[in-house]
A and B are shown apart, each in its own frame.
Chain A
């Protein structure tokens, strides 16, 4: 028995791969649920109703999916050009704290239609800068950006911690470590009243479509793909390698920073060190689940958010640990990688 590369990837298989992967992940998760002593089918039902059954659950799923879409896109655009951005978490937090720093101070008194775009832009730029550092080190000194971008996450989180305990501390928060609020004018409009769902979701979906267009139709998309697939051939074809990678890094870091900005301005209104339950890292999983396809990222982010929200409420209802959600998402990443592999290879005996 041996593996053989497929000449063509059958479209059916490509579309079916994530479905099969998720089914397999759920089946394995079922074993874990059974081991925790809960009825498996009932647990599946509760995950679904928890995520979609109620207005609150449904909107919560979409709210959670929003930052995941953006960090997922950040990872997807970077990975496609072989820029290994593992630092979306740090870019997310830097984007968030940058917005908190300017929204109620520098931009104070601006009308919302100016304030909101300007604040979002500041968040995106903060994320960009955060990724340009590791990329610059790679281009100049050949330092592996996997290590630098990953380690910068911890630096940023500590920096945020320092800011919200110090210069940006909210004096009215009874000593809680949280930043000054961005103020009501900077809050993103709600999509549905009396829920947490905000227009960030629409922004994320529009951006996903734009990224798809950028990658499939533009010279930049083609050149960044070439740069990722074969740097030597790209250089021979006259692709400005460093410039292209810098643009990719701006896009990727910017998206992660934007995710942080949107999360602050859409949900909480201020920054704490638990603003993100690992959105930056989950974004990598989302991107991989989507096979780095921007439109696929929308679906993968929805799936991941469903699992998080659904398993949370299932865990509460059945009294089993909600870690089942993390496990299912991680398992689905593994099964997804296997199924993507089999869209490219077949088994021969």
Chain B
């Protein structure tokens, strides 16, 4: 490349304790380029960007913006040099307007009057230039997640960012919103901005980036032009070995195990219908915050329905509790394994039996021998690495903790498995392991209710798919007929009200 790089990272090294988070990483960014930083959890992507942005001080290495070296550990200097960052978790004040949010921190505190007029003009001209449509007077709390992200980007641009860093920008978006975002990124790149986006999703890296830098174990392992690589190659580079997610094979579903008929849960779920058959996976796809948590809680015994009917093995049930559902044979994988799934400070064996303690106790006394044996069986049978029955659960990695949670449910052959976001935050290897277990359970006749935000996951695991939007469920479509485009429409709430898809018969 003959053009002078706008950003040059040289030999960035950062060590946390014994782990080397970044190992002599060097990256250049050309003007008008979209660079994807691809890597698994813990590959060092976020650390690297935090160093670039001045949140962390590197142990070694330098950051140069347009040929000028940035002082380490000074976010202000990075902002002034034109580096803007859009965090995965937005830093917006919900009760302020878009304009207020954008202006925050840009004016001196000693000015008596803020020049709202000039700010509004500047904001509108930026929005115009990059096609980021937004109403400056809307309250941020009233905006959709996609719009809020637009505000975050505008905030960075308002600060005259020339280099924009986006940390996992699509994590909270529907795929339609994501496509819109990528189009915007293109426009921004064409007008001379340079962009880095961090991701572990192969699809979007292929779709949006010019160039891909793959990080693994804190090192740059490869650099590819997006036009000259493939998803398969990137996956292998990212994981370091060939990883194939298992694929669902066709199966004939059995009887209906769990069925909801016009079911309400307060105002959070209204009039939903679904049926889980034996030996079948029903996928519920949707963007986070549309009622998935409530749905998961309903079938886990934590929430009760207020209207309609819930049928378990054909029998209507009115009073559900955690215990009654577990005794009926429902296995539950909660959406937040650290908050709900396991207690880090308790031993692995305790976490293995806590939700079914009545099976491992007599007259109120815990049968610790049987409980430890149960834990050992899970550890062996589900390949939980990094712990013994007596070690603390927090020592397990996310993937191993998830295997423990799956194991305690599947060890005794649950008839129904509720898996809420089962691979959220896991890396490619662990995802493959979790998917294998879910498919195994399905093959053994378990009915699986998969609640997920991950399109690829739902498409590869589910036999039938329903979308969840604002507490309502779409009618199911067979997985064979689902493609990303169609699911995207469904996730946006676009389905016929008569309950049938015109071309789904």
Contact of A222 with B322 at beta-carbon distance under 8 Å, contacts A233-B342, A236-B341 already known = no
- DSSP class of A's interface residues: helix, strand, loop or mixed? helix
Q: Are A223 and B357 touching (Cβ within 8 A)? A: yes
Closest A residue to B355 by beta carbon equals A237
Task: Kindly identify which residue among B345, B354, B391 contacts A237, using a CB–CB cutoff of 8 Å.
Answer: B354
Q: Are B340 and A236 touching (Cβ within 8 A)? A: yes
Residues on B with C-beta less than 8 A from A221 are 366
Q: Is A217 positioned at the interface, with any CB of B under 8 Å from its CB?
A: yes
Q: Is A235 positioned at the interface, with any CB of B under 8 Å from its CB?
A: yes
Q: Are B17 and A238 touching (Cβ within 8 A)? A: no
Q: Are B354 and A222 touching (Cβ within 8 A)? A: yes
In this complex, the interface size class of chain B, counting residues with CB under 8 Å from chain A, is 20 to 34
Among B341, B343, B350, B368, the most chain A Cβ lie within 10 Å of the Cβ of B343
Contact with B along A220-246 (1 / 0, CB 8 A): 111101100110111111110000000
Residues on A with C-beta less than 8 A from B343 are 226, 229-230, 233-234
Residues on A with C-beta less than 8 A from B342 are 233
Q: Is A144 positioned at the interface, with any CB of B under 8 Å from its CB?
A: no
Closest B residue to A214 by beta carbon equals B364
Residues on B with C-beta less than 8 A from A237 are 322, 354-355
A218 to B364, CA, bound (A): 6
Task: Kindly identify which residue among B300, B323, B350, B364 contacts A236, using a CB–CB cutoff of 8 Å.
Answer: B300
Q: Is B346 positioned at the interface, with any CB of A under 8 Å from its CB?
A: yes
A237 to B358, CA, bound (A): 12
Residues on B with C-beta less than 8 A from A229 are 343-346
Residues on B with C-beta less than 8 A from A7 are 395
Q: Is A42 positioned at the interface, with any CB of B under 8 Å from its CB?
A: no
A48 to B354, CA, bound (A): 47
Q: Is B301 positioned at the interface, with any CB of A under 8 Å from its CB?
A: yes
Q: Is A143 positioned at the interface, with any CB of B under 8 Å from its CB?
A: no
Smallest Cβ distance from A128 to chain B, in angstroms? Answer: 20
Contact with B along A190-207 (1 / 0, CB 8 A): 000000000000000000
Q: Is A140 positioned at the interface, with any CB of B under 8 Å from its CB?
A: no
Q: Are B361 and A219 touching (Cβ within 8 A)? A: yes
A2 to B354, CA, bound (A): 35
Q: Are B355 and A236 touching (Cβ within 8 A)? A: yes
Smallest Cβ distance from A31 to chain B, in angstroms? Answer: 36
Q: Is B479 positioned at the interface, with any CB of A under 8 Å from its CB?
A: no
Smallest Cβ distance from A215 to chain B, in angstroms? Answer: 11
Residues on B with C-beta less than 8 A from A238 are 301, 321-323, 326, 355
Smallest Cβ distance from A86 to chain B, in angstroms? Answer: 23
Residues on B with C-beta less than 8 A from A236 are 300, 302, 322, 332, 334, 340-341, 355
Q: Is B365 positioned at the interface, with any CB of A under 8 Å from its CB?
A: yes
A223 to B368, CA, bound (A): 14
Q: Is B380 positioned at the interface, with any CB of A under 8 Å from its CB?
A: no
Contact with B along A1-20 (1 / 0, CB 8 A): 01010011000000000000
Closest B residue to A218 by beta carbon equals B364
Q: Is B107 positioned at the interface, with any CB of A under 8 Å from its CB?
A: no
Subset of 6 A-B contacts with CB under 8 Å: A219-B357, A222-B366, A233-B341, A233-B343, A235-B340, A236-B300
Q: Which residues of A contact B (CB under 8 A)?
A: 2, 4, 7-8, 217-223, 225-226, 229-230, 232-239, 348
Contacts A7-B395, A219-B361, A233-B343 known; 4 new A-B pairs at CB < 8 A: A217-B365, A218-B361, A220-B364, A234-B354
